[in-house]
Amino acid sequence: MKYRIVLWATAGFLVASGWGVYFSLASKNRNMESMVFTLARLTCPIAILGRHYPISLYSAIAANVATYALIGLAVETLRRQLNQAK
């Protein structure tokens, strides 16, 4: 179970890092599509706060890793309980 939670946390790291690279390379003069921002907010929840408060890339990555680890803990706990109930 620990291995799977680490995988969830790694996914959170990769998602936040990917968004960080995307937004650093994206043109600042061009308006971003609302679909891109919606997808970023869904996959990186700290981005919601980023609209109102300045958040560093490292803080965003750490928050996303923690969020994905907690989601992974919940999912793996539920999965384990459902497998035991069978």
- Decide if 26 contacts 32 (C-beta within 8 A): yes
Q: What are phi and psi of 32, to 5 degrees?
A: -75, 145
As averages over each run of 10 residues, the pLDDT of the chain (86 residues) reads 91 94 79 79 86 87 94 93 83
The pLDDT value given to residue 32:
64
Report pTM.
0.83
Provide the 10 A C-beta neighbour count for residue 47: 21
Say which amino acid occupies 55.
Answer: I
What whole-number distance in Å separates Cα of residue 70 and Cα of residue 27? 33
The residue assigned the tokens 């968004």 is 19
What whole-number distance in Å separates Cα of residue 21 and Cα of residue 57? 10
